[in-house]
Structure 1
Amino acid sequence: MSQPPGGAPSFVRAWWEALAAVAAGVAAMFAVAALGLWAAGAGGLPGGAFPSVTAATVVTAVGGTVELSGDAGVLGRTGAGIAVVPLSVTLAGAVALAVVFLRPLRHHAVTSGRALLARVARTAVLWLLALLLTGLGARHDFRINLGDSLLGDIGDVLDVAPRVGFRAALGPTLGYGLLWLLVLLAVAVAASRKTPLPSRLLRFQDPVRPVASAMVALLLGYVLLGLVAGLVTAAVRGHPGDTMAVLLLGLPNLAWLAFGLGLGGTWDGRVPGTSLGLPMPAPLTAVLREGGDRPSTLSVSSLAAHDGRAWLLVVVAAVALLAAAFLTAVRSPATTRPWEHAVQVGVASAVTLFVIGTLTRISARFGLSILGITDMSAFGGEVALRPHLLTLMGLGLLWGAVAGFAGSALSHRVRRGGLAGEAGNPGPG
């Protein structure tokens, strides 16, 4: 006798599919984070901190909060803070989780809203459990070695033992992690052309799905270009370990920053005069160091002052956006008018640049003070990168609208050419 549709096998299979999606995402993030941190030299952290640092990296990759703290004894104090998203880790987990989540849906011709929400709910429950366990593992404390310096001598005499530590803030981590998952699944369902939509959402399929799919393809294409450039750099310039650390931790940070800069966006930022620890493009670090203690403005023109090839970012961004607009148009119904394409691509570009600006924001600092003596050059400074979000969104809307019109015109020409070819070919026999 066969089981009814709502029987135990269906129940077990539904939870198994949710578990597979969560496990794939978490495993991908831990693997990429561990490899990136190992390439960056974090494997030698004192006190066996590497697993905890890896867990903390995964927490920040999904928008979670990692609190840094310090204790330099009675006569000392430390101050630290960090807000940066390692987007390579984020992207790896997002792609793995989305692919496994969507795969069972592609075997269905239709789906109901209730079934889709139930699938999302099961995934969210298991995701929060995995994130809770990750957050509990993302904590560690270790002592700072002051070395042979005046600070070290004072610390030894006064028995001041500076310690720093980190721990995931579980409340914000679970909250932002859940939001991350819901946004990811919404984008995945919207961009997947093979996933059926509930009947109530079918009216959004034509205006949303083609442009969402095109924007996802644009972002992944930029990451692929950055990966090729990074591998070439590692092969030609040496130091492959450092370059691989950048690729495994922050490749989308740089690639998507390049897209925003190519469209005319600007960021304010600064880095300390000391080494960043990881190799960044020379023009980028040069611009961010120009202001000294004050923020510098990062733009295509400021980059071009150090390397004229930076103007190529404008060309690449324009071509990429035009390709996305053309892809949107050819996948949309033939009855869609050019101004509708312009609105769709313009709004999607503005939203995409808002996300890019938010995700590429960086704020990191570390300071140590003992008896009023501060040595920031030895123990770090502040790294900051803050976007002009309103400018980015406005540029995205403008560029997207122009690209939408152009992409619509190109798609109509291609379609007319295809119809003319079919009319001129009488076919066999």
Structure 2
Amino acid sequence: MQQPTTPAAGPPGAVRAWLDALVVVLAGLVAMAAVAVLGLWLAGADDLPDGGFPAVLAATLALAVGGTVRLDGGAGDFAAVGAGISAMPLSVSVAGAVVMAEVFLRQLGFRAVVGGGELLGRIGRTALLWLLALVLLTLGAQHSFVVPLSGDLAQTIGSVLGLTPEVGFHAYGPTTVGIGLAWLLLVLAVTFAVSRRAPLPPALVRYQLAVRPAAFALWLVLLAYLAIGLAAGVLTAIVHGNARQTLAVVLLALPNLAWLAFGVGLGAEWHGRLVGVLGLPVPKPLSAVLRTPGGGQATVDLGALAERDARVWWLLPLAAVLLLAAAFLAARRSPRAVRLWQHAVRFALATAVTVLLVGLWTRVDADYGLSVLGVGLGQGGLADLLGVVLGGNNPLAGLGGGNLTLRLVFWTAVPLAAGWGLLTGALGALLATRVRHRGEAPAGGTPGAGGG
């Protein structure tokens, strides 16, 4: 009598689990790389000598997950360049996060619940492969190239002084790997907080109605700002020219500007400054506020920006309307049994967390400097002279010093956001009392005739 066959156990299932994790990681990297390649090409980064574009791409992906890129170089023992960049190109970040979240959820299937062990296993395997990818990004995000001296006089001076102009950059490993891992875990946490398709372990199912309606509504607010910013960017590219650089900003840093506008509309403040020249265009009001006399610290808020452009005042009613609409949606997606004060508190917490994350994501720290024989130089003077010696068409030409910083004032912004959320959450819940909530049957209808 033929013995019944048993399904294979162990390796095939384990291989499939690791393949699923690999697909999540590769899908995110491909999405980020596609956006970054187009944005960098529009920004002119493909003109770097010595085949530096792949390394620039790797450095951009490292920045997109929260890493830090350091720049160094100089001209032999005569001059040195030092710099560091810590700023997330959020267009690249959002593209990778959305694709990874979608692939991860599809692999879980359309289930209401998932075992805690299975979920932790998927997250652990994905995190391990993501760590490997971050290490490879760090190794790939380093490049240096020699800057050719132009002209006979420059070459003669260079040979006499022993000048060998060289510029390079590299991703800082601890920051890229450590914060990059935290970035992945945050993406997955936000995914399960926002998506109704995300199955939860049985012990967490009871909390989903307290978190998901408000989280999903605030995610829609952020998407609405992206849509508005995209329309404004395309219109600017068409009307005011300079389309290539404007579209480069859209593909690299649209959320950085759009979500800053969201916070400013709520009354939040950013502190920062701008010294030197930016490589990409930014809104003139923002640039004017940051570029203070003497390079001191500036406060970026609604009033300061409106002094440069009165249209900025529209950010206030825009934030109010979108938050009220989000609060109404959150209340409608919640059971009618939830009390008004509960809606208000939940929406306040969600708004505060959203502004906190926006502040972390939009933080910028970028500085560069040039020193001659160990003496730091500002913009101009001997730095410009050295740039002339090295040649006018190279990265060191005119390089003196510069700085761009932008940081949210958290201790005022987060409580302010919570106050906005409390007010709009209460108003939204009041408005939602007159409409049918999700899952309710219409009045006079048959059981089960309501929404899903």
Query: What is the alpha-carbon distance in structure 1 between the residues aligned to residue 8 and residue 216 of structure 2?
Result: 33
In the alignment, what sits opposite 1:167?
A: 170
Residue identity matched to 1:362? V
In the alignment, what sits opposite 2:287?
A: 285
**1:109–1:8 CA distance, 2 compared to 1 (3 A):** farther
- The 3-state SS of whatever aligns with 1:160 is coil
Is 1:140 the counterpart of 2:143? The answer is yes
Is 1:388 the counterpart of 2:412? The answer is no
Query: What is the alpha-carbon distance in structure 2 between the residues aligned to residue 259 and residue 53 of structure 1?
Result: 30
In the alignment, what sits opposite 1:110?
A: 113
Which structure is higher in helix share? 1
In the alignment, what sits opposite 2:258?
A: 255
- Give 5+ residue unaligned stretches, structure 2: 381-397
Q: What's the TM-score once normalised by structure 2's chain length? A: 0.87
Query: What is the alpha-carbon distance in structure 2 between the residues aligned to residue 244 and residue 180 of structure 1?
Result: 26
- The 3-state SS of whatever aligns with 1:17 is helix
**1:5–1:257 CA distance, 2 compared to 1 (3 A):** farther
Query: What is the alpha-carbon distance in structure 2 between the residues aligned to residue 383 and residue 198 of structure 1?
Result: 44
- The 3-state SS of whatever aligns with 1:381 is strand
CA deviation map 1:75-115 (0-9, x unaligned): 32322121111111100100011100111223334311111
CA deviation map 1:199-245 (0-9, x unaligned): 11112111111111112222122112111111111122222110111
Residue identity matched to 2:288? A
**1:163–1:203 CA distance, 2 compared to 1 (3 A):** same
In the alignment, what sits opposite 1:87?
A: 90
Is 1:45 the counterpart of 2:48? The answer is yes
- The 3-state SS of whatever aligns with 1:47 is coil
Query: What is the alpha-carbon distance in structure 2 between the residues aligned to residue 255 and residue 57 of structure 1?
Result: 20
CA deviation map 1:27-79 (0-9, x unaligned): 01111111111110111012211110110010111112323223432232322
**1:144–1:413 CA distance, 2 compared to 1 (3 A):** farther
**1:96–1:152 CA distance, 2 compared to 1 (3 A):** farther
**1:271–1:157 CA distance, 2 compared to 1 (3 A):** farther
Residue identity matched to 1:306? R
- Post-superposition offset of 1:14: 2.2
- Post-superposition offset of 1:187: 1.1
In the alignment, what sits opposite 1:313?
A: 315
Query: What is the alpha-carbon distance in structure 2 between the residues aligned to residue 412 and residue 178 of structure 1?
Result: 42
- Asked if structure 2 preserves the Cα contact closer than 8 Å seen for 1:321 and 1:400, the reply is yes
Tell me which of 314, 327, 349 is aligned to 2:351: 349
**1:154–1:13 CA distance, 2 compared to 1 (3 A):** same
Tell me whether 382-391 or 241-250 shows the greater mean CA deviation.
382-391
**1:303–1:94 CA distance, 2 compared to 1 (3 A):** same
- Post-superposition offset of 1:146: 7.5
- Post-superposition offset of 1:373: 7.5
Query: What is the alpha-carbon distance in structure 2 between the residues aligned to residue 298 and residue 82 of structure 1?
Result: 21
Query: What is the alpha-carbon distance in structure 1 between the residues aligned to residue 155 and residue 224 of structure 2?
Result: 49
Tell me which of 435, 439, 448 is aligned to 1:414: 435
- Give 5+ residue unaligned stretches, structure 1: none
Q: CA RMSD in A?
A: 2.6
| 1:219-234 correspondence runs (5 A) | 219-234=222-237
Query: What is the alpha-carbon distance in structure 1 between the residues aligned to residue 339 and residue 157 of structure 2?
Result: 74
- Post-superposition offset of 1:296: 1.5
- Asked if structure 1 preserves the Cα contact closer than 8 Å seen for 2:40 and 2:46, the reply is yes
- The 3-state SS of whatever aligns with 1:190 is helix
Residue identity matched to 1:324? A
- Asked if structure 2 preserves the Cα contact closer than 8 Å seen for 1:342 and 1:404, the reply is yes
Tell me which of 330, 346, 361 is aligned to 1:328: 330
- Post-superposition offset of 1:159: 2.2
Residue identity matched to 1:376? Q
In the alignment, what sits opposite 1:200?
A: 203
Is 1:32 the counterpart of 2:38? The answer is no
Residue identity matched to 1:401? L
In the alignment, what sits opposite 1:301?
A: 303
Is 1:23 the counterpart of 2:23? The answer is no
Is 1:158 the counterpart of 2:161? The answer is yes
In the alignment, what sits opposite 2:390?
A: none
**1:424–1:109 CA distance, 2 compared to 1 (3 A):** closer
- The 3-state SS of whatever aligns with 2:98 is helix
Tell me whether 195-204 or 75-84 shows the greater mean CA deviation.
75-84
Residue identity matched to 1:280? V
